[in-house]
Amino acid sequence: MKKPIYKRVLLKISGEALAGEQGFGLDTETINHIADEVKNIVDMGVEVAIVVGGGNFWRGRSGQGMDRTTADYMGMLATVINALALQDALENIGILTRTQTAIEMRQIAEPYIRRRAVRHLEKGRVVIFAAGTGNPYFSTDTTAALRAAEIEAEVILLAKKVDGVYDSDPYENPTAVKFDELSYLDVLRLGLKVMDSTATSLCMDNSIPIKVFGIDKPNNITKVILGESIGTFINR
Ligand code: UDP
């Protein structure tokens, strides 16, 4: 039987990936599917931390005419809604889970404490990081890069609606070509829509590999964990 190639991973799930086909809000079936996928790899002994996005409810840049900082705080709150939904789905299938928020809201979740997060992971609990970095002008992709570095995750699993990185938008261009492997500099130079440049630079500077793959196909998270080459690998 194949063995996991990673011991500790950081899974980034965009808000969009939680919305399913409707493109907005939360789709229960989709969330349950993701929870099942996470259970598969937890059962293999992999330590899993998750960063959730918030774009299925709100993005800072959607707040036209609004104060940007206020709009970004709204985005961070959206990630907390997603984190709680995911926590609930994971606990429903027996996975021990802790949510930690970068902005204190103690009645709802623990505050982010790195050492405590690592301890939870060591005990086999899934840790969900919510409220981004706690700072406006950042993204949850940057949060994923930052938390991955802090908890010494071996890889960022970037679960997307699209099944990898393409040279142009595959929804708009049917001849778009998928990359199997890329360097961080390729992503920055070609302006590829994988992560924003802050997040990509943080991964580059700290040598954190990124696996980009589609979340909607069954068992994709497991496949990545077992070393199957699906999606796009960014690692140099
Ligand atoms: N956000 C922020 N600081 C952070 C992380 C997120 O201000 O450290 C805000 C920002 O407004 C962003 C929103 O939260 O647009 C939702 O996050 P993101 O767009 O990264 O979610 P995703 O695209 O992954 O669903």
Q: What is the spatial distance between Cα 56 and Cα 82, in angstroms, rounded to a whole number?
A: 9
Decide whether any atom of ligand 1 lies within 6 Å of the 164 Cβ.
no
Side-chain half-sphere exposure of 193, counting CA atoms within 13 A? 9
Complex ipTM over 0.90? yes
Q: Whose CA is nearest to atom 13 of ligand 1?
A: 75
Decide whether any atom of ligand 1 lies within 6 Å of the 135 Cβ.
yes
The per-residue pLDDT for 77 is 98
Q: Which segments are annotated as binding site for UMP?
A: 54, 72, 133-140
Q: Does the residue 3 lie in any domain?
A: no
Decide whether any atom of ligand 1 lies within 6 Å of the 18 Cβ.
no
Q: What is the spatial distance between Cα 119 and Cα 88, in angstroms, rounded to a whole number?
A: 21
**Residue 103 is part of which domain span?**
8-234
CATH code of the domain in which 89 resides: 3.40.1160.10
Q: What angle do CA 89, 91, 93 make, to 5 degrees?
A: 80
Query: Residue 234 is encoded by which pair of tokens?
Result: 């960014």
As a whole number, mean pLDDT of residues 122-131 equals 98
Its pTM stands at 0.97
Q: Does the residue 213 lie in any domain?
A: yes
Q: Does the residue 2 lie in any domain?
A: no
Decide whether any atom of ligand 1 lies within 6 Å of the 136 Cβ.
yes
Under the banding of pLDDT at 50, 70 and 90, the label for residue 193 is confident
Q: How many domains does the chain have?
A: 1
